[in-house]
Amino acid sequence: MSDHDHNHQGHHHDHDHSELSETELRVRALESILTEKGYVDPAALDVLIDLYEKKIGPRNGVRVVAKAWSDPAYHARLMKDATAAIAELDYSGRQGEHMVVVENTPEQHNMVVCTLCSCYPHPVLGLPPVWYKSAPYRSRAVSDPRGVLKDFGVTLPDTTKIRVWDSTAEIRYLVLPMRPAGTEGWSAEQLAELVTRDSMIGTGLPKQPGEIA
Amino acid sequence: MDGAHDMGGAKGFGPVVAEPNEPVFHDDWERRAFALTVAMARPGGWNIDMSRFARENRPPEDYLSKSYFQIWLAGLETLMIERGLVTREEIESGKVLSPPKPGIKAIAPTEVTPAIRRGGPTEREAKAPAMFAVGETVRMKDIHPVTHTRLPQYVRGHLGTIEHNHGCHVFPDTNSLGKGEDPQWLYTVRFDGPELWGKDSDPTLSVSVDAWESYLERAS
């Protein structure tokens, strides 16, 4: 990989330090200019950052999936009107205004991408990881999803159809993975241990009961 | 615009490399650049489509060599300079050189959480009946707008099936230019892999995009 690729992937290597500190200085200067002009309140920025680092994240989506797996009435509501069903758990708003849940089955595996930028369902998954925003994922998810799955160490049966959802508008997609076998009688709290972020994007599968302690 | 951001189907970018236990932000400047961008939208008076256009409308080598939040920063600078909120000289010197634009009110800390939880729904009341029905075959128009569009190049000219009607939504192509919301019917359109990628495509693949009515034409 060239230096160029490293940079785009957001990785930080020694050769990037001078450039990054330049960016850091630029952002600091910008914040002080905007504050001095009265356009931003730095305390409001702190609230925003805290929200996205501590409150909005994949643990929210994990609760949605675990509840859908363990509560058939909730599952039905989630498939019919995902925005409303997700709001029942108190998750709503920016980049999740119009939610759709797509369910994996033995016949069809779903994967979500935004080829044009980085659209992602923030209220349930938080901010997207670097790979989701990167050129390799955005370019190949729509043309070679099995190859992308291989990059994640996932191989699906040849008979499973693959459906890719390109988030080109303001509809945001959450994948409902298949509930692992051997979890009969598990509570929503126990099931939540099996749900991974990537399984809700479609680039991964949930953990199996034997994988958790 | 047919820019470097429109990546669907492009080749040569290599494998997807995931970072284990990735943090939400990798550096403090990413935190601040993200928060500044979100917090400036309302005082700055731009919408999400204008922000997206400000980020993608740059030379391919610039788009591809900047990190994600560096693109956000560059987009924010563009939006503010365009509106006379700050000058290029102020950004480069790091000093305030001109008085603030009057009448601009910062978002207060107490306003942040309610605003994020409210978000910005894009569905609007329908003014006319939908032109296409679920199950209908449509062709994506082969158009190449020089300004913002959400019609990716890889589906243009191809045949797909209307799978869902999401109601009328704000149209990014006009909203990004400040020419109004022009709400249009929004459809999920599904394509078979071989229709998009030819005979070597994975035969089990199908891909969908969400497309506004004016991106579509009748198949025959």
Enumerate residues 6+ apart whose C-beta is below 8 A from B212: A169, B150, B169, B171, B172, B173, B184, B185, B186, B187
- The Cβ of residue B179 has, within 10 Å, a number of other Cβ atoms equal to 11
pLDDT of residue A6: 40
Contact indicator for A51, B112 with CB cutoff of 8 Å: yes
What is the predicted pLDDT for the residue at A13? 45
What does the alpha-carbon distance between residue B167 and residue B212 come to, in Å, rounded to a whole number?
Answer: 10
Look at B8 and A139 and tell me if their CB atoms are within 8 Å.
yes
Q: Which amino acid is at A140?
A: R
**Predicted confidence pLDDT, tens digits, chain B (220 residues):** 999 999 999 999 999 999 999 999 999 999 999 999 999 999 999 999 999 999 999 999 999 999 999 999 999 999 999 999 999 999 999 999 999 999 999 999 999 999 999 999 999 999 999 999 999 999 999 999 999 999 999 999 999 999 999 999 999 999 999 999 999 999 999 999 999 999 999 999 999 999 999 999 999 7
Question: B154 vs A151: CB contact, 8 Å cut-off?
Answer: no
Catalytic residues of A, by residue number, are 114, 117-119
Q: Which B residues in the span 35-74 are in contact with A, Cβ-Cβ below 8 Å?
A: 35-36, 38-40, 43-44, 52, 55-56, 64-68, 70, 73
- Give the model's confidence band at A213: pLDDT under 50 very low, under 70 low, under 90 confident, else very high: low
Report ipTM (2 d.p.).
0.98
Q: Do B67 and A8 touch (CB under 8 A)?
A: yes
Phi, psi dihedral angles at B102 (to 5 degrees)? -70, 155
State the pLDDT at residue A2: 38
**Is B43 in contact with A39 (Cβ distance < 8 A)?**
yes
Considering only CB atoms, which chain B residues are within 8 Å of A81?
Answer: none
Using CA coordinates, name the residue in chain B closest to A169: B210
pLDDT higher than 50, residue A5: no
How many Cβ contacts (< 8 angstroms) between chains A and B?
280
pLDDT of residue B220: 78
